[in-house]
């Protein structure tokens, strides 16, 4: 308890110091602006490189990441869904940070742009500052000048580092069993979206009959998220053999394939990488074999043998519309 109280006292001294207050105010006023300035150009770069998987810009303000003694302000690319590079044997990271770590009577302080894609931007050691200097106005002004200059140059430097990234080297984390089963010609035989990294979005499919006109309409909407392990916990015989029909085509750095399931009344559509790994697949128990597919206005249109037409919004693949007959 005494140790924790001591740590709290040290942190409180820092938080109430002129140094912390001025730097905190500077970051609060500029960091969000920097993030907003970087994001649109970053998104343009992803489109130019035809990179389809999510890679978000994240701005974490005053993020307590390493316990009570440490605070960090971060602007970073989100690489959480990617494996380490097999080429460099390093994790993927590109992070701009301002960091303070409180020690007994000292403060460890650093600001840096660091990148695993640039040997010249390795994480560096912090500067050790005596706590008695944290209320020295001349010292604080000098540090603010340094930090202000760093923040001013940061957007352009950050974007330049993004341009150096070989996006083909980013290895998206794929679920080994799903990928293995896919290569063997199997998918989970459930109405839902199967993601290549292991997430399953269960679909709820139902029909409504209108007695006034005798028409039956069918609907699909996402019901819940789960994972393949949870489904197999209660049923280990979920895998259905699928066939790939003629007519597969490429679209925006991916390949769409489609076909049927083993029972004959089933169909599916899948997006794969250009090397055959499964990005995602949607399995339909009701559609009969999918014999044709095309993209129109960012919608993937799937045609089933029974006359069913399925429209999938490629901006959000859980938005699925079912049309019973062409033209309806």
CA separation for the pair 279, 228 (Å, rounded): 15
| Position with higher pLDDT, 274 vs 269 | 269
Asked whether 281 and 194 are in contact (CB, 8 A), the reply is yes
What is the mean predicted confidence (pLDDT) over 249-278? 87
104-138 pLDDT, tens per residue?
Answer: 888 899 999 999 888 889 888 889 999 899 999 99
Among 92, 95, 90, smallest CA distance to 113 is for 95
Cβ contacts of 143 within 8 Å, gap of 6 or more: 19, 23, 109
| Position with higher pLDDT, 302 vs 64 | 302
* pLDDT at 68 (0 to 100): 54
Among 170, 194, 319, smallest CA distance to 253 is for 170
pLDDT band at 7; cut points 50, 70, 90: low
CA separation for the pair 106, 85 (Å, rounded): 37
pLDDT band at 5; cut points 50, 70, 90: low
Asked whether 324 and 293 are in contact (CB, 8 A), the reply is no
CA separation for the pair 228, 83 (Å, rounded): 20
* pLDDT at 2 (0 to 100): 44
CA separation for the pair 38, 27 (Å, rounded): 16
* pLDDT at 69 (0 to 100): 63
CA separation for the pair 190, 240 (Å, rounded): 9
Asked whether 325 and 294 are in contact (CB, 8 A), the reply is no
Q: How far is CA 163 from CA 112, 136, 166, 167, 196, in A?
A: 18, 40, 8, 9, 27
| The pLDDT of residue 67 is above 60 | no
The conformational region for residue 124 under phi > 0 = left, psi -120 to 50 = alpha, else beta, is beta
pLDDT band at 208; cut points 50, 70, 90: confident
158-207 pLDDT, tens per residue?
Answer: 999 999 888 877 877 778 889 899 999 999 999 999 998 888 999 988 87
272-307 pLDDT, tens per residue?
Answer: 988 888 999 999 988 788 999 999 988 999 998 878
* pLDDT at 4 (0 to 100): 52
* pLDDT at 205 (0 to 100): 85
Which residue(s) pair with 259 in the sheet? 244, 268
* pLDDT at 327 (0 to 100): 41
Q: What percent of the chain has pLDDT over 90?
A: 37
| The pLDDT of residue 269 is above 90 | yes
pLDDT band at 153; cut points 50, 70, 90: very high
CA angle 251, 324, 191 (to 5 degrees): 65
Among 281, 278, 256, smallest CA distance to 268 is for 281
| The pLDDT of residue 13 is above 50 | yes
Asked whether 174 and 272 are in contact (CB, 8 A), the reply is no
């Amino acid at each position: 308890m005494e140790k924790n109280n001591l740590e709290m006292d040290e942190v409180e001294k820092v938080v109430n110091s002129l140094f912390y207050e001025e730097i905190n105010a500077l970051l609060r006023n500029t960091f969000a602006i920097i993030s907003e300035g970087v994001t649109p150009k970053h998104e343009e770069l992803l489109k130019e490189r035809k990179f389809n998987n999510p890679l978000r810009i994240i701005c974490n303000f005053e993020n307590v990441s390493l316990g009570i003694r440490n605070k960090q302000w971060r602007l970073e690319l989100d690489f959480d869904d990617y494996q380490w590079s097999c080429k460099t044997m390093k994790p993927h990271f590109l992070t701009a940070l301002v960091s303070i770590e409180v020690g007994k009577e000292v403060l460890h302080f650093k600001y840096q742009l660091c990148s695993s894609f640039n040997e010249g931007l390795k994480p560096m050691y912090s500067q050790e500052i005596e706590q008695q200097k944290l209320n020295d106005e001349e010292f604080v002004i000098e540090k603010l000048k340094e930090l202000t200059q760093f923040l001013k140059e940061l957007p352009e430097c950050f974007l330049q580092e993004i341009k150096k990234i070989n996006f083909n080297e980013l290895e998206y984390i794929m679920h080994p069993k799903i990928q293995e089963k896919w290569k063997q010609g199997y998918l989970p035989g459930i109405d839902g979206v199967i993601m290549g990294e292991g997430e399953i979005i269960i679909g709820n499919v139902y029909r409504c009959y209108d007695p006034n006109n005798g028409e039956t309409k069918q609907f699909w909407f996402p019901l819940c998220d789960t994972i393949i392990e949870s489904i197999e916990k209660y049923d280990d015989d979920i895998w259905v053999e699928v066939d790939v029909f003629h007519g597969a085509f490429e679209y925006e750095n991916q390949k769409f394939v489609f076909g049927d399931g083993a029972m004959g009344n089933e169909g599916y559509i899948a997006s794969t990488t250009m090397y055959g790994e499964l990005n995602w697949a949607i399995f339909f128990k009701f559609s009969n074999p999918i014999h044709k597919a095309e993209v129109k206005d960012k919608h993937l249109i799937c045609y089933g043998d029974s006359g069913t037409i399925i429209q999938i919004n490629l901006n959000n693949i859980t938005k699925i519309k079912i049309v019973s007959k062409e033209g309806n």
